[in-house]
Structure 1
Amino acid sequence: MSSGVHAAVGERSMLFPAAAVFLLSAVALKVEVAPAAQVVLLALLAGAVGLPHGALDPLVAREAGLWRDRRGLVVFLLAYVALAAAALILWIAAPGPCLLIFLLYSAFHFSGDWRHHPLWLRLPAGCFIVSAPAFWFPEATRHYFSLLAGGTSAGWILEVMKMIAMPSGVGMIAALFHPRVTARLRIEWILLVGAAVVCPPLLFFLLYFCTIHSPRHLVHAACGLPARQVLPTALLFTLLTLALALFAFSQVRTLPGHDAVIQIVFVGLAILTVPHMLLVEYAHVPRARGVP
């Protein structure tokens, strides 16, 4: 996709500004969302909005030349699942380092939401998104980290994220003055910073993930794909992933229900992001592969 189309999709949508203003207004009015309700929202929105943005990966892979026939599709899916399974095995073996690596590659991946800008300009935004909750809501973030990596690892990972948060926030704000940054993007990033400061971590994550990252990537991925295949493919692979998530939830019996949901959602996102991010980066470098 051309950078012009990418920019149009990325900066003209009013979904995020509207949702951010609504959420910031609710916080200003001291409307509280119970932790249990936040977890329910996490499960519902991650399933309904988050999962479909990666469900088009088989079609994206075909457009990138990774498969052409049914046999190629099977090989691609097996490789995709193998990468996710390897990530899960590593997570079980070393959850602390894996959580830190997940946060770091998520920062890079999230910066791709503004891919039409140079990496040095957009990377601070990606870093800020993953690190800001640790700075502004350390106790809640420590709890979530402990669910994902254990209590011992949670402490040092929290400190690493806190050290990243302030420089990345400063870099993000400094980038607002660059002449290539549009007024719409300035508003978007200012709202992101404001939401990170006042919104609990789960609500901030849902705001960003469900109104910027997932819809934006879904639109980008769908552009140029056969329309008749987009919806069936997205539904099929979303339902398959949800089925796996429900199975995993049924097997996690040592944690309270809400904590189990948080663990499954974020570990699931972590392991699926490995093949997803590799595919996204591969699909965005056609010239390096000799594709016109």
Structure 2
Amino acid sequence: MKAFFQWRPLVPPAGHQSGVAVASAVGLATAAIAALFLVLGLDGGIWLYLPLILSVFLFGLPHGAIDHLVLIGLARRRLNLTSLAIACGLYLTLVFVFLILWWVSPLIGLILFLGITVYHWGKSDLAFESLNSPNLSAAPTLPRTSHLLLRGFLPIGTPFLAFPEATQSFITACTSSFGYDVKVSTGFNTVLWFVLLILLTSEISYLKRQRNWKRLLAEDCALLGYFILIPPVLAIGLYFCLWHGLRHVLRLIQYESDAVDAVKLSDGLKRFYIQALPFTLVSLLLVAAVVLLLPQAKQLDQLVGIYLVVISSLTLPHLCVVEWMDWRERI
């Protein structure tokens, strides 16, 4: 089993190959797919949820499913039953703490979910850029932080402004199964407008310091336009799979196991999915368990909401692992 699943500790390589070309190509494909959905009139009903459903297998849910191998590798431990039990035990403890929080206080759970996601998605973009563009480290802390927050705000904050009703429904789907309805006020959206304006203004200072400012500016504009034009459920589903998840996977497939040479993309993806299979299935079992504990969740949007609640619970320990990765790679 160990050989079949390739369960080996994974640690950062000495250097990274650029994954920018692949990420950029898939980013363009994501925009094209979203546009195709709109042109074909597939921006309503079950079609909206299709990318989130596919995220179960396509880079979304699996992208954090080898955290246990990275955790053991970062701790410089051999893979055995003891190290695996400790890694999984710590990981699942944080997962269950966050899940319990959703039951105790759905509002706090939601706020933490959104806040953690803004930080994590923004930091992941910054890490991906830093690993492929060493010049980014020259930027002062404040502009880097502002860039991080902008990249996290665009997928999370922009839908509140561009699609307030659809975003309200999206939020309700996450909390209604726990017997709580969140109402987004107009005052909250006003604050978001000011935040977006401040972050966009601060981004100018950041871009001035970057050699590849044209590409970064193009990404900023594309993401802003994407989340303004595409309905939030569809937009976030595609983004989760083909932007955030993919970029993390591109980073992970370069992590060392037995090989010291550069990993081919196809071989790396194959290795990643073999490594991710067991805990992707465990995560699905966790989703099924929460659904059984909430029998009132019968509608598709509520089931997707529960899926997102479980993802939020998995994100907390995943964030801790990624932060350790960033620290080891001096990001």
Q: TM-score range by the shorter chain?
A: 0.7 to 0.9
- Letter of the 2:221 counterpart: I
1:281 aligns with 2:320: no
2:108 to 97, 113, 124: 97
Closer, same or farther: CA 168–142 of 1 in aligned 2, 3 Å: same
Mean Cα deviation higher: 80-89 or 124-133: 124-133
For 1:6-45, what aligned pairs fall within 5 Å after superposition? 8-10=18-20, 13=23, 14-24=25-35, 26-27=37-38, 29=39, 31-45=41-55
Distance 2:190 2:238 in 1: 21
2:276 to 234, 249, 264: 234
CA deviations on 1:154-176 (whole Å, 9 max, x unpaired) are 22478546523552365247525
* Conserved 8 A contact 2:101-2:108: no
CA deviations on 1:135-162 (whole Å, 9 max, x unpaired) are 1111111122122234865224785465
In structure 2, what is the equivalent of residue 114 of structure 1?
A: 126
Provide the TM-score with structure 1 as the length reference: 0.85
1:285 counterpart SS class = helix
- Letter of the 1:76 counterpart: A
Q: What is the Cα-based RMSD across aligned positions, in Å?
A: 2.9
* Conserved 8 A contact 1:96-1:157: no
**Unaligned stretches of 5+ in structure 2?**
1-11, 131-135, 137-143, 258-267
Distance 2:275 2:329 in 1: 27
Provide the TM-score with structure 2 as the length reference: 0.76
In structure 2, what is the equivalent of residue 178 of structure 1?
A: 208
Q: Which has the higher helix share?
A: 1
Q: Taking every aligned residue pair, what percent have the same amino acid on both sides?
A: 24
1:200 aligns with 2:231: yes
Distance 1:79 1:229 in 2: 25
In structure 2, what is the equivalent of residue 270 of structure 1?
A: 312
* Conserved 8 A contact 1:43-1:265: no
Distance 1:279 1:71 in 2: 19
- Residue 40 (structure 1) shift: 3.7
1:63 to 73, 84, 98: 73
In structure 2, what is the equivalent of residue 245 of structure 1?
A: 287
In structure 2, what is the equivalent of residue 130 of structure 1?
A: 156
2:41 counterpart SS class = coil
* Conserved 8 A contact 2:119-2:148: no
* Conserved 8 A contact 2:98-2:313: yes
- Residue 119 (structure 1) shift: 2.6
